[in-house]
Chain A
């Protein structure tokens, strides 16, 4: 970064936290500086001209002044609000998940322009997708790729043999799939069914327009979610929090459907 007093940046707001009287601390993801933390002063006052331009998950063009500790936003102009994901609670829950993962998997001031572009694409997909969980799995798998944790899905991570179409094992610690022989001797693995492995490989190999056409059975979709959670939790050393909210909404929806159809 240069040492000039003011700089321009485009950014997506990942997280916000109230600070002081009417300020907010924002966590942004930017194309040139990766993740940055900045202060938006007076933003909680309705009179603030910046507030509508710095909503969560919004893409904005900013003018930022260097501060002694944290930089300060002096101007903000909304570029894209991803309106479609603001008006639907399920979409919001997935956007929370995506923003949380991006925040937790990246460090400050490390440029990663492809990841920024991928974030923009993902928000757009979440605003339109008919299959939010599949879109989310696609994001998770490729996020791991972008931050250097691409899981090995084609060869056994221990013996390097090609993985056969049988039930194999997954090890988060080893970063990929284990053949049945090796899997038996490695602690903390989970069985990985062939249908789920196929989907994982497909998601890892093809682009989103191709992957979005996949139709998954409920059981496969559920296992896929658990497999990805295992991988994510290993690298984060904690479970992704927003996943709990996504699951709560799903549980409540299923409960409601059951009551409606009188099968309870």
Chain B
């Protein structure tokens, strides 16, 4: 690597730490930016800087947002009696794409996976229980991924809510086992939403 200028090497190294990016792709990205005549590099640099200064976690739903409460939590037209629990912010994006859901969200930021050191307390489950105690809702939709980690997380949440007066539902089985919510097409997802069942 010594034949390459330091700043170039540094960027390649940084890119290759991203998920799914190998050294080859990292080099391609870097040389593309280097050759680029437009302002992409500047735009990227600005966007990256703002990523950590201008983005906050909504203190109600824990989604990533511009402000707290986020646009969804702050929208008085949305149905505050329903909360949909998802693993990742991208799942919110997928559900919003369906235009079939008008309630609020709660983002866990992961699913239980002890071998990876992800325990219930690392997710926003305690915050969810507190949120429901502070402002009871009618329905809680558990929209964790339809795979083992997602099912385990949903089962754990249900256990925490035993005895509480809230209808707990799970997305319908239209979603194939093993897939991730964020990749589901809008049609399948809105159908799974419409046919959700009491958990």
Interface positions of A (Cβ within 8 A of B): 15, 17-23, 43-48, 50-57, 86, 89, 92-93, 96-97, 99-100, 103, 241-242, 244-245, 248, 252, 256
Contact = CB atoms under 8 A, between A and B. Distances in A.
A23 B20 contact: yes
B119 A18 contact: no
Given A20-B20, A43-B178, A248-B119, A56 B148 contact: yes
Interface stretch (B39-47, B51-59, B70-78, B109-117): B109-117
Q: Which of B151, B156, B177 has the most CB of A within 10 A?
A: B177
Contacts of A256: 162
A245 B180 contact: no
B175 interface: yes
A53 B176 CA distance: 11
B184 interface: yes
Interface majority SS on A: helix, strand, loop or mixed? Answer: mixed
20 contacts: A19-B19, A20-B20, A20-B21, A43-B179, A46-B180, A46-B185, A47-B183, A51-B176, A51-B178, A52-B176, A55-B147, A55-B148, A56-B148, A89-B159, A92-B151, A92-B152, A96-B114, A100-B114, A242-B114, A256-B162
Contact of B178 (A52, A57, A89, A103): A52
Given A20-B19, A86-B148, A100 B115 contact: yes
A43 B146 CA distance: 13
Contacts of B115: 15, 96, 99-100, 103, 241-242
Given A46-B183, A252-B159, A52 B114 contact: no
A46 B117 CA distance: 26
Contacts of B180: 22, 44-46
Interface string B135-173: 000000000000111011001100100100000000000
B20 A248 contact: no
Contacts of A53: 178
Contacts of B147: 51, 55-56
B113 to A, nearest CB: 8
A-B residue pairs, 7 tightest by C-beta = A20-B20, A51-B178, A46-B179, A242-B114, A44-B180, A56-B148, A245-B114
A50 B147 CA distance: 13
Q: Which of B120, B179, B185 has the most CB of A within 10 A?
A: B179
Nearest to A243: B114
Contacts of A51: 147, 176-179
Q: Which of A21, A51, A99, A103 has the most CB of B within 10 A?
A: A51
Q: Which of A89, A100, A252 has the most CB of B within 10 A?
A: A89
B176 A241 contact: no
B114 A54 contact: no
B184 A46 contact: yes
A92 B148 contact: yes
A46 B187 CA distance: 12
B188 interface: yes
A164 B51 CA distance: 66
A64 to B, nearest CB: 18
Contact of B183 (A45, A55, A56, A242): A45
A23 B151 CA distance: 20
Given A242-B114, A248-B120, 11 more contacts: A45-B179, A45-B183, A46-B180, A46-B184, A47-B183, A48-B176, A51-B147, A56-B147, A89-B155, A92-B152, A245-B120
